[in-house]
Structure 1
């Protein structure tokens, strides 16, 4: 499997940024880490290995960007409004620097977003904010309502980065072209978030799959089963 480490100075974040990529071609997939996770987390927990055959066959090329949750949503040392602002810079960096690179390298017009747990939030938030750019969303045990990270604070910036809030009122036509999979389990701490998002998508008439696995937890074991199965639909 081809693996490449990339480091560059991000003008959007005003800092160096790191990323791992896996594969030599195919559908470009931006795969996010979990809460406060790093760019190598999905490799360390063998999520990349679970899709190794698809990577080797050239069906997918996976981009694993670093996360900045410790500077944004989980940064209790700054005001909640600044936590959101830091995330907005991250979103801008993903849009201009990561997605742009993925499209250029693979030749695809659109990307796929994916992630587990809090990575599922990042995958969904980016996809729903930029539906013209995302063809598929694969979330595994994602969380989609971040009010708990805001200490009771709420403003417009937060609204547009909290999918449970902004998606019901978003009528971008590209949303209905997106293929969405919401993976969860019967014992998942994020099951309610997935069922709630599924209800929103259903009310909007958006075709999607709410995949509830049984006898499973919020854990890498089930995510390693889900990920290659979802990619197999491409």
Structure 2
């Protein structure tokens, strides 16, 4: 399949950011890695191979991003207030830089955003806050409550970056209508230490009448054996 690597200095993050593109055309997918990983993780661990048929036959085009979690949620050398600001900058990078880049490369006006672990959190949160930009969200073993990364710190920035908190209070009908148009997939598996987050997030979304697919796989085993198959199942 066609593969290329792009990079530019991100105005949102103030640093050089790299992404890898797989395939020539098709419905675009933004792929977000596990916490702190690079844009090469999905290829290294079989995620790209899992959807190679879709990429080779131009059903999908995949845009793999790098994480900045080591500068944000995982940065113990930064104050929690700085960590959450860095996360907001990453969200801006996705919405204000990556999405327009995809739109320049691809004329299909339907973007799937998929992520694993903290990448699942970023995928879901970004789509909930910017629903006009996305048509589908796939969260695999997502972490949807960020408060454990905040060391007890809490302010409006944390609230509006934490879907467990802000979704129950979403009341603007125009925003809710756009959110309800998105195809949400919350995927986990038995034995997954993050499964409870998917169950809790599902309950929150149900209270707001946000339709979604909660898919808890009965299989157990190595997560990197399961996640590629989850992606393949829910991309189609």
Instruction: Give me the TM-score of the superposition, normalised by structure 1.
Output: 0.96
- Within the alignment, does 1:87 sit opposite 2:87 as a pair? yes
Report the alpha carbon displacement of residue 104 of structure 1 after superposing the two structures with TM: 2.1
User: Residue 35 of structure 2 aligns to a residue in which SS?
Assistant: coil
CA contact (8 A) 1:188 1:218 kept: no
Which residue of structure 2 aligns with residue 166 of structure 1?
166
CA offset digits 1:178-205 (Å, max 9, x no partner) = 0011111111111110000111111111
- The list of structure 1 runs, each at least 4 consecutive aligned residues, that deviate by more than 4 angstroms after superposition, is none
Cα shift at 1:87: 1.0
Q: Does 1:61 align with 2:61?
A: yes
> Does residue 43 of structure 2 align to residue 11 of structure 1?
no
Deviations 1:141-166 (A, max 9, x none): 11100111000000000111111111
Per-residue deviation, 1:218: 6.6
Structure-2 residue corresponding to 1:119: 119
Which sections of structure 1, spanning at least 5 residues, go unmatched? none
1:185 — aligned with what? 189
When residues 23 and 89 of structure 1 are mapped into structure 2, their CA distance, relative to the original with a 3 A threshold, is same
Q: Residue 205 in 1 paired to residue 209 in 2?
A: yes
Q: CA RMSD in A?
A: 1.1
Residue by residue, what CA displacement relative to the aligned partner does 1:41-93 show, whole Å, maximum 9, x if unpaired?
11100101100000111111111111100001101101100001111111111
What runs of 5+ residues in structure 2 fail to find an aligned partner? none
Q: Which residue of 1 aligns with 2:45?
A: 45
Matched, 1:214 2:218: yes
* 2:198 counterpart (194, 198, 204): 194
Q: Does 1:144 align with 2:148?
A: no
Q: 1:224 to 1:192 in 2, by over 3 A?
A: same
1:70 partner SS: coil
Q: Distance in 2 between matches of 1:77 and 1:126?
A: 25
Q: Give 1:157's aligned residue.
A: 157
Distance 1:217 1:139 in 2: 19
Give the distance between the partners of 1:225 and 1:110, measured in 2 at CA. 22
SS in 2 for 1:132: helix
Report how many residues are paired.
232
Structure 1 203/218 Cα, relative in aligned 2: closer, same or farther at 3 Å? Answer: farther
Measure the CA separation in 1 of the matches of 2:14 and 2:221: 38
